[in-house]
């Protein structure tokens, strides 16, 4: 295997491509912090049936734009605190509308 092929094979992803998640705000009672439930579906290994799973992530919301029930997009970034690793990118759909 040539050096060029080996370099291409083990290349890290671009630093500018951060993980983006879409989920529903389940709590906005903390100061500048929202709790977001991110859902996904997985196929069961043995039975091949689709299973719904979810994860709870904490995101930084500087302006306090998101409210409980809103559909939001969060972006992974540097840690703000012990649990906060995401930032609010945008509110996709407001709960009221």
DSSP calls for 10-62:
TPPPPTT---EEEEEEEEEEETTEEEEEEEEEEE-TTT--EEEEEEEEEEE-S
Domain that holds residue 18: 14-93
> Is residue 82 within 8 Å of 56, Cβ to Cβ?
no
The answer to whether position 4 is within a domain reads no
The answer to whether position 6 is within a domain reads no
The answer to whether position 50 is within a domain reads yes
Q: What's the total number of domains in the chain?
A: 1
The answer to whether position 51 is within a domain reads yes
Quick check: 37 pLDDT over 60?
yes
The answer to whether position 5 is within a domain reads no
The per-residue pLDDT for range 41-81, each reduced to its tens digit, is 999 999 999 999 999 999 999 999 999 999 999 999 999 99
Q: How confident is the model at residue 95 (pLDDT cuts 50, 70, 90)?
A: confident
The answer to whether position 88 is within a domain reads yes
The answer to whether position 45 is within a domain reads yes
The answer to whether position 57 is within a domain reads yes
What CATH number is given to the structural domain containing 23? 2.40.50.140
């Amino acid at each position: 295997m040539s050096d060029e092929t080996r370099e291409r094979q083990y290349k890290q992803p671009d630093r500018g491509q951060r993980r983006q998640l879409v989920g529903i705000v389940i709590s906005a009672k903390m100061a500048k912090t929202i709790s977001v439930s991110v859902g996904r579906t997985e196929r069961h290994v043995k039975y091949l049936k689709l299973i719904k799973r979810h994860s709870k992530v904490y995101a930084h919301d500087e302006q306090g734009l998101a409210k409980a029930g809103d559909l939001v997009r969060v972006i992974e970034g540097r840690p703000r605190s012990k649990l906060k690793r995401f930032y609010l990118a945008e509110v996709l759909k407001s709960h009221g509308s």
